[in-house]
Structure 1
Amino acid sequence: MDDRVAVIKGLILGHPAENGGNESLLRRVCSTAAKELSASGVGISVMTESGIRAATAASDPASELLEELQFMFGEGPCVDAFASRRPVLISDLGDLMTSEDDRWPFYAPAAHASGLRAVFAFPLQIGAARLGVLDVFRDHVGPLTNAELADAVAVADVTVTALLDRQEERPDSGIDDIDDDAAEYRAELFQAQGMVMVQLGVTLAEAMARIRAYAYAEDRRLSDVTRDIVARRLRFDRDER
């Protein structure tokens, strides 16, 4: 296991001169994990303790969509893995949809329609600190093998260590910056909710639901829709309810 961790660490980190910033690191994690785990794609969401997504990366556009859908609907393997601090392993998304388990009533059918058949989410954490989640996507059903499961855990561990090392080496451009970005986004999101609440005469919860529904229907990022609402480029009218 230690040898395998060393191999994965080498694949992800490469040569020091090629490391780049956190965004480059996360993209390299995704592409490496997709190859090593025989996945159709991999996504990573870096999050604050309150569950607000601060940064994201994916191995390909399809995986980026699957990652985005979770925050658009507010549910999915990433959300559950972060909240529970435990891996979420779904070897057959179709079975989940046809069973009495209705944990993802919106995400599951949308992801399945996009080609997702199995998903495995691994928290990025060390001790009590949570940094985010690594999502492994597959376009075919079936569980991870024991070796693949061990490799996925190793990828998550290497990612956490690398992010924390960068924060220690460059305190002005590491996790603190991610937290600052998340705080700004959270304030923007709350402002957008308040604006839509007034525009439609609904509760804050319903305003958030309307914003998410609009983002999904228009195939746009939730953050982009939020920004347009705050900038008054987008307005929700009562006669459109």
Structure 2
Amino acid sequence: MSMMDEAGGGLTLPELLCRSARRQLGAAAVGLAVMAADATSELVAASDPAAHELEVLQLTLGEGPCLEAFRTGRLVQLAELGTGEQRWPAYSAHLRERGIGAVFAFPLRIGGIRLGALDVYRGHPGTLSDDDLSLALHFVDAAVVVLLHLQDPASHQSLDDPRLEEDVEGFTLHPEVHQATGMVSVQAVVSLHDALLLLRAHAYVADRSIIEVARDVVARRIDFR
């Protein structure tokens, strides 16, 4: 069984990630996009049709938090919709029409390499709490790994982002994780470090523990090829 089939309903991992992020963050919508160096964009996934529409609007209008997050490499926060009217006048008007009160765009990057952005839309104004910000950053980590794997699993480089480091001591009592990491390394043609990151990303997206995912890999119910 493939990762896509096991994860549910034929949905891709990016789509599942967006849906999981929307649910766990209590968001109105979540969108994920990749971009090229010239800022041309291709929508990868969205949590629902509303999110898809909001993402496409940014690409159509050529303005919005997603494009700004990609360009600057920094988190873009629009906690009060009115504050975005001068930065993105056309896009802000569309957000208001759709009942969006706040939007947060997280850049997806590895070192100096920019990949795209993860957008979180909320139906009410206000900043993200510390807990929600921490959770959102976990989804950013997962999105980076998923995108790298989907783009070219055979040419992964070692990831230098310290936020992606795993405390392997936490798995000393769970040999299934170590065994699954080796299997994923062979299946996806990546290093052991990157294989562990893929296990973590799949666990985040599927709302399961890494031990459960590892056991399915060992039992060959999930295949990372």
Taking structure 2 as the reference length, what is the TM-score of the superposition? 0.62
Q: Return the alpha-carbon distance in structure 1 between the equivalents of residues 113 and 84 of structure 2.
A: 30
Contact 2:43 2:55 (8 Å CA) reproduced? no
Residue 41 of structure 1 is aligned with which of 7, 29, 40? 29
- Report 1:26-105 matches (<5 A): 26-97=14-85, 102-105=86-89
Question: Over the residues paired in the alignment, what is the CA RMSD in angstroms?
Answer: 2.2
Q: How many residues align?
A: 152
Q: Counterparts of 2:94 and 2:151 in 1: how far apart (Å)?
A: 36
Amino acid at match of 2:45: A
Of 130, 138, 148, which aligns to 1:146?
Answer: 130
| 2:131 alignment partner, SS class | helix
- Residue in 1 that maps onto 2:94: 110
Deviations 1:24-64 (A, max 9, x none): 11101110100111101101111112111123311111111
TM-score w.r.t. length of structure 1: 0.58
Go from structure 1 to structure 2 and tell me whether the alpha carbon gap of 1:16 and 1:58 turns closer, same or farther (over 3 Å shift): closer
Distance (Å, rounded) in 2 between the aligned partners of 1:166 and 1:72: 25
Cα offset for 1:149? 0.5
Counterpart CA distance in 2 for 1:104 and 1:148 is 25
After superposition, the Cα gap between the structure-2 partners of 1:50 and 1:96, relative to the gap in structure 1 and judged at 3 Å, is closer
Partners of 1:168 and 1:70 in 2: CA distance: 27
Structure 2 gap segments, 5+ residues each: 156-225
> How far 1:78 sits from its partner (Å)?
0.2
Is the 8 Å Cα contact of residues 108 and 144 (structure 2) preserved in structure 1?
yes
> Secondary structure of the residue that 2:13 maps to in structure 1?
helix
In structure 2, give the amino acid aligned to 1:161.
Answer: V
Consecutive unaligned residues in structure 1, runs of 5 or more: 1-13, 172-241
